[in-house]
A and B are shown apart, each in its own frame.
Chain A
Amino acid sequence: MLVTDFLQMIKNRSEPSWLKQRRLDTFTKFSQLKMPDSKEEEWRYIDISQVNLDNVKIDGYTDISIDFGNDVIVLLMKEALNKFSDMINEHAFSLFTDADKFVSFVSSFWNNGVFVYVPKNVQAELPVTVKINNTNNPVYSLVVLDENSKLNFVEENVADKINPIVSDKINPIVSTSVTEIFVKENSKLNFFCSQILPENLYSFYYKRASVERGAEINWFLGSFGAKLSRWKVETFLKGENAKCQKYGIYAGNKNQHHDIITKTFHLVPHTSNNILVKGVLTGRASSVYRGLIRIEKNAQQTLSYMGAHTLLLSNKAKSNNIPSLEIEANDVRATHGSSVGQLEEEKLFYLMSRGLDRKLAENIIVEGFLETVLNKFTSDEVREKFRAITNERLLNA
């Protein structure tokens, strides 16, 4: 986007002046940054040669539907800017001081998103459900749980308006979003997020959460669609007794690429983290799981686990796993386990000997493989939905 177009865009929007200024600042940064190159470690196994953020066409507002109970505040970002300008100003992109090309793209051009605020001591009964209609327009969402509150948040990413058949190789749709989450003292957030995009989209989701003393975040992630899907989900455990759990599944078919990064930073003592990510790939699908547990020097008495497992259903499918640990403290226990394998013939044989056909037997084994992640889900509805999507993508493929 040209500077003149950008200035015109800012001018046309009725936004607080701080936001305009900030867009200008980040736009400068965005313009200076180059698109990442495969020599950079985090971009090593991902082909983004078709993606050029400098040429992405942006127009209008992202269509988002929201559904929630009346004890929490949920607004579309463009409306929230009027009522909660100060709070947004305080939090927006404060966790992303190290913004890369993609994050600075979102912070320059975001047009809509969701603003969620759970006031002190409010334990929301009903979930907040958000459906985001992905387009080229970047999305920024902010979720703030004030002290001693509780929320179930469900984010669904779809692209209803995009014709999945029409594929534009020269200018593919590039969907980007940044979500910042603040879980304040003694609060608890269950964050469900799924990506069910048509297979001609590229999606890049950045999510960061700051978790304070005694607070807890539980991520439940499902990555299913898109041609190329990149998630970067990072958790900063900032207060003692803060907890993080990340449960994720991905299912890839055809030429899809699922690229998932999770990072957990233990910044203070007595924090815990548990990660389990499982994926199933068929066709020519490929995946990268890159995990990091980092335990800072003073973050003693930390417990951290990371599990990453991939099942390859076809011999053209590929998987790369890099579950890393960076441990600077000694009185800790950090462990990881990782595996890549196929359906075990023994198991298939057993099931088939009971009369199941091969397809059904495979089905059951795949379900069992993913079950250890799905049974951690605290929402039956989301679990069932993820199950159904997985079945559809893998088994009827």
Chain B
Amino acid sequence: MRGLKMDKMKQQQKPKLVIERDYSKYGFSVDVDYLYKARKGLSHEIVEEISKIKDEPKWMLEFRLKALEHFIQRPLPTWGPDLSRIPFDDLVYYLKPIDKQATSWEDLPEAIRQTFEKLGIPEAERKFLGGVGAMFDSETVYHKIREDLAKQGVIFCDTDTALKEYPELFRKYFGTVVPYNDNKFAALNSAVWSGGSFLYIPEGVHVNIPLQAYFRINAPQMGQFERTLIIAEPDSKVHYIESCTAGVYTTKSLHAAVVEIIALPGAHVRYTTLQNWADNVYNLVTKRAHAYENAIVEWLDANIGSQVTMKYPSVYLLGQGARAEILSVAFAGKGQHQDTGGKAIHLAPNTSSTITAKSVSKDGGKTNYRGLIKVLPGAINSRSFTKCDAIILDEQSVSDTIPYMEINENQVSIGHEATVGKVSDEQLFYLMSRGLTEQQALTMIVNGFFEAFTKELPMEYAVEFNRLIQLEMAGAVG
């Protein structure tokens, strides 16, 4: 449908539209009197101060300082998107909005409560969630779990609270999946982490309604460094959803989270992310899971917002029969670079992994798929399949595909397929022949392209995801 003839006609029909991303729903910010605001930049003193404010045990302070040392020494990655413009020295690394976490929305300061009302969180909680954690800048301001789940022994609280209330459980698993020196941004997170979710599912317990965490960056030029730890005991099951949005600013912000999942034998953990940061946010996140015998870990990872995202959710398949499912979708619009993908490391026999990646780039946006399938000696009968599809919607946009396959065992079946190109002319023509405008047809095809992801979401999220894509697709026909 990009034939010369049509292009000419389009020019006659309407002027070229330049549409900015629509932030009407998420881009706002509110005035908050912060209880504590660290001074700009990062230092040992700031790390010590954070630890002191949080009244942490000594081992945690030592962990933080070790991590800080590593962060300082470790160079920026030499591959991937350009990170040289992150204003490390101008960021605020800790920003405490309230003194005491609430378990009722009414107890929150008005501005913060309104923020989450506007984002629809309390309503969603009433309707279909089993628990909610809400993080506002550096602290989790609200946390609640449904009573019936709590009674079954499910723990769902913010990570700082967990350190205090479940010190043994916490220390047993914290930092075991993503060590502090894993990469520069995991080191940064380890040094200044604050907030995030701690989720513990006892053996055999199935949590059948999703638990949700909402991450909100309100202040300008800040870094949000939440830390999430999920421990799924044998044969348990849980679905955790996180959403991220931020106020829009002209200055840069940084979000560097670490997520660790431990899926013990037979456990099934699904982790869904709807990332819609404002596009002044650098989103550099380390997400990793350990899957033991017959455990299933699913990462459903959608990246629509942010200026730069680097995120490759990983699963270490440590036990026989463990399974990893990674579904990664990305949309890169003007000025955005989505460098996403997934990793599966097969360390045990009869393990399997599937990575499905779908991306759309538009208005000069850039999507990269970066992935790794690694099979270690002895991981016999490993099976892995990766499928990457990228759509490039216009001449300004680009897409790279960089899959690594490191196979050190022969009794395996490893496959990879990828396609990159534009929306098929034939599909467009077919839909338009039924009366759909080019814009409608394109949006429909792109929504269909992402359907493999949306069909896995709870209904309310699927509707919201499709709405976001529709907003992003506005002006696709130029």
In the assembled complex, the Cα of A233 lies from the Cα of B422 at a distance in Å of 28
Does chain A have a CB within 8 A of B421? yes
In the assembled complex, the Cα of A331 lies from the Cα of B398 at a distance in Å of 11
Interface stretch, picked from B220-228, B386-394, B461-469, is B386-394
**Min C-beta distance of A267 to chain B, whole Å:** 15
In the complex, chain B residues 415-438 whose Cβ is within 8 Å of any chain A Cβ: 415-422
Q: Mark A258-287, 1 if CB is under 8 A from B, else 0.
A: 000000000000000000000000000000
Does chain A have a CB within 8 A of B412? yes
Does chain A have a CB within 8 A of B399? yes
In the assembled complex, the Cα of A328 lies from the Cα of B408 at a distance in Å of 33
A310 touches B407 (CB 8 A): yes
Chain B contact-residue range equals 35 or more
B416 touches A324 (CB 8 A): no
Q: Report which of A45, A314, A316, A335 forms a contact with B420, defined as CB distance below 8 A.
A: A335
Query: Interface residue count for A (Cβ, 8 Å)?
Result: 36
B403 touches A320 (CB 8 A): no
Task: Indicate whether A313 sits within 8 Å of B417 (C-beta atoms), given known contacts A320-B405, A325-B400, A338-B405.
Answer: no
Does chain A have a CB within 8 A of B440? no
Does chain B have a CB within 8 A of A5? no
Q: Report which of B400, B410, B420, B421 forms a contact with A315, defined as CB distance below 8 A.
A: B410
Task: Indicate whether A314 sits within 8 Å of B416 (C-beta atoms), given known contacts A325-B400, A326-B400.
Answer: no
Closest chain A residue to B392 by CB distance?
A: A330
Closest chain A residue to B407 by CB distance?
A: A340
Closest chain B residue to A306 by CB distance?
A: B418
Interface of B is mostly: strand
In the assembled complex, the Cα of A180 lies from the Cα of B227 at a distance in Å of 54
**Min C-beta distance of A91 to chain B, whole Å:** 32
A327 touches B400 (CB 8 A): yes
Q: Mark A145-164, 1 if CB is under 8 A from B, else 0.
A: 00000000000000000000
In the assembled complex, the Cα of A340 lies from the Cα of B407 at a distance in Å of 7
Closest chain A residue to B404 by CB distance?
A: A322
Q: Mark A318-360, 1 if CB is under 8 A from B, else 0.
A: 1111111111111111111111111000000000000000000
**Min C-beta distance of A112 to chain B, whole Å:** 38
Interface residues of A (CB under 8 A from B): 41, 45, 297, 300, 310, 312-342
User: What are 21 A-B pairs with beta-carbon distances under 8 A?
Assistant: A297-B395, A312-B409, A312-B412, A318-B406, A320-B406, A320-B407, A322-B405, A325-B402, A327-B392, A330-B392, A330-B395, A331-B2, A331-B395, A335-B418, A336-B416, A336-B417, A338-B403, A340-B405, A341-B414, A342-B412, A342-B413
| Apart from A322-B403, A339-B415, A342-B412, 14 more pairs, CB < 8 Å | A41-B79, A297-B395, A315-B377, A315-B410, A319-B407, A321-B407, A324-B403, A327-B420, A330-B394, A333-B421, A335-B418, A337-B417, A340-B412, A340-B414
